[in-house]
Structure 1
Amino acid sequence: MELSLRRLRMLRELQRRGTVTGVAARLHYSPSAVSQQLAQLEREVGASLFERLGRRIRLTELGAVLAEHAEDILGAVEDAEMALEQAQGGVTSRLRVGVWASVASGLLPTALTRLTEEHPGIEVRTVELPPEATASAVLDGSLDLSFVIEYSDYALPWDPGLVRDVIAVERLHAAVTSGATPEPPVSLAAFADHPWVLAGPTSHFGRAIRIACRRHGFEPRIVHQVEEQTTALAMVAGGLGVTLVSDLVLDSVPDGVDVVPLTEPVLRTVSIAHRSTAQTRRSLELVIDAVRASAAERGLAAGSPVP
């Protein structure tokens, strides 16, 4: 019997998430592809590995045993990859990186161009995810590293199984319809009576801005709840409200929008998260260095590793 690492990874995710759709979303396959691969795993083993309970799936006793060993096997594969990198000087590797829009457009092009020129053996594949989902994808092994954010008004809990390397610290600025505000800088409280265009309260960004507004004595009157910053800026250009934008978004601000600095700016830290290991993979360090250099070229303050 020869077990597929891909199918073992799917089985591990099925134990964690309990649904085929959950596995598909996490590993970026279609649900039908996941079902087919899990069925093939059962055929290879020659026994039932899971059973359906309504919409959820529960592993059988044998499935749970295999899933436990899958965890060890996949961990051993990661250790082997690290050992090979060390033996080769860390110049050959494929890394899966979680990103979101502003870092993908604002930091990665320059960073990956530099990385390709200096270390052509390192291949970086990116997956765009909501910022709220990137850290957990690294923790469960779906990604090798990911960008994460933390706001000055909203500190996030941190899993001890992850390490974060600070890349940059951004300021958030008010984005308003052209000509709609007095001379900058202005207090965030100056927008207490304005309509807002803002992400929902379950997102890091939406929650952080709501907290910042409350610290300045008001609850933002959200007229348009949108998740994409480009959509929010288009609405601001059309006179539909105000929002906040970070330094990395400034290059994509459309005509009809004024960017106004705040007297007490909201800050956000952009970091790269990766799993805690006794020795960090050299290829991962090289990716972090390239992104940090890209951030420095943008005039953003670079930090150092945070335990």
Structure 2
Amino acid sequence: MLDVRRLRLLRELSHRGTIAAVAEALSFTPSAVSQQLSVLEREAGVALLERSGRRVALTPAGQRLVCRTEDVLERLELAAAELAEARHGPSGPLRIGAFPSATRAILPAALTVLDARYPGLEPLVSETDPARVADALRAGDLDVALLHEYDFVPAPTEPGLAVEPLCAEPMYLASAAPARTTGTGLSVLAGWSAAPWITATPGTLCHTMTVRACQAAGFTPHVRHRVDDFTTVLALVAAGQGVALVPRLGLVDVPAAVSLTRLPVRRRTTIAYRRGAGRHPAITAVAEALRGAVPAELAGGS
């Protein structure tokens, strides 16, 4: 009989690529992960891994087993959801991951509703970079999370996860003066091709979106500052330190000196959870509260 816990380790190895990364993500030692995978190979009766020095790759049999593992884990999530439905209402801890602007603009109202409707539920919120959400959900560190993508940076399909749309918001060019061009659409950005830019830190979706939007307008931005917090970004814009692209939910307490120009670029937010968990009462309750907390003009994901 194959052990589900060891199957999870194999699945994580297929996503993360190295035993060290699996060990770090799941709070094991590399030797413990390696040992458990060796036991799984003995249980399976076939080679699941190919080792070459420090590198490990899945054999064709290992890859097929990972595909079956995804189905097994989905069925386990469905079973857990059915058992939870038999209990009296959502209860217990629920780990929620969200990016900063959603944490500030959406989560407080949603949590207030959850407290009033489901006093037995204990939401636990952690600010989480969307780039880390998929791994955290698969590892069980989160139960539900908010992800976002941009028109220029579509989100990849993540194995083992299901998503549903929450909201779509426009992006704005923030500057300390009106736009320098009378053009429309992304041509507005061309008027700021020589200006310093403020972007998020490299590696984030927001940073990639800004660079790609500028490239679509015909130039590569000269980045002066790299800041992830939109309130700080707007303060720097007001101080004449550069221009930036900011989503609607990031426009909080906008300084009077900042001019905003709406662009034909959108950020879309989705609710993500492990595949099979969508019927879990706690997940359903959180999703409903999140949808109710979204400003009406942003509701939906189209």
Contact 1:103/1:248, CA 8 A, preserved across alignment:
yes
Question: Does the alignment pair 1:301 with 2:302?
Answer: no
> 1:224 matched to which residue of 2?
225
C-alpha displacement at 1:22, in angstroms? 2.9
> 1:182 matched to which residue of 2?
178
C-alpha displacement at 1:115, in angstroms? 0.7
- Alpha-carbon separation, structure 2, partners of 1:34 and 1:108: 35
Change in Cα spacing, 1:283 to 1:263, as seen in structure 2 (3 Å) is: closer
- Alpha-carbon separation, structure 2, partners of 1:154 and 1:72: 29
> 1:118 matched to which residue of 2?
117
Change in Cα spacing, 1:127 to 1:53, as seen in structure 2 (3 Å) is: farther
Change in Cα spacing, 1:36 to 1:156, as seen in structure 2 (3 Å) is: closer
Change in Cα spacing, 1:164 to 1:259, as seen in structure 2 (3 Å) is: farther
> 1:138 matched to which residue of 2?
137
Deviations 1:91-110 (A, max 9, x none): 22432222111111111111
What is the number of residues matched between the two proteins?
A: 293
- Supply the AA of the counterpart residue of 1:262: T
Change in Cα spacing, 1:182 to 1:14, as seen in structure 2 (3 Å) is: closer
> 1:202 matched to which residue of 2?
203
Deviations 1:285-307 (A, max 9, x none): 210111111113xx442126x9x
Contact 2:197/2:221, CA 8 A, preserved across alignment:
yes
C-alpha displacement at 1:8, in angstroms? 8.9
- Aligned counterparts, 1:62-81, within 5 A: 78-81=77-80
- Alpha-carbon separation, structure 2, partners of 1:198 and 1:241: 10
Of all paired residues, the percent bearing the same amino acid is 36
> 1:101 matched to which residue of 2?
100
Unaligned runs of 5+ in 2: 38-50, 59-65, 183-187
Moved more, 214-223 or 260-269: 260-269
- Alpha-carbon separation, structure 1, partners of 2:248 and 2:132: 22
C-alpha displacement at 1:215, in angstroms? 2.1
C-alpha displacement at 1:198, in angstroms? 0.8
> 2:265 matched to which residue of 1?
266
C-alpha displacement at 1:205, in angstroms? 1.0
Kindly report the root-mean-square deviation, in angstroms, between the aligned alpha carbons of the 2 structures: 4.4
TM-score normalised per structure 1: 0.72
- Alpha-carbon separation, structure 2, partners of 1:73 and 1:155: 28
Unaligned runs of 5+ in 1: 43-51, 60-66
Change in Cα spacing, 1:57 to 1:126, as seen in structure 2 (3 Å) is: farther
Contact 1:184/1:262, CA 8 A, preserved across alignment:
no
After TM superposition, the runs of 4+ consecutive aligned structure 1 residues lying more than 4 A away are 5-21, 33-42, 52-59, 67-77, 183-186
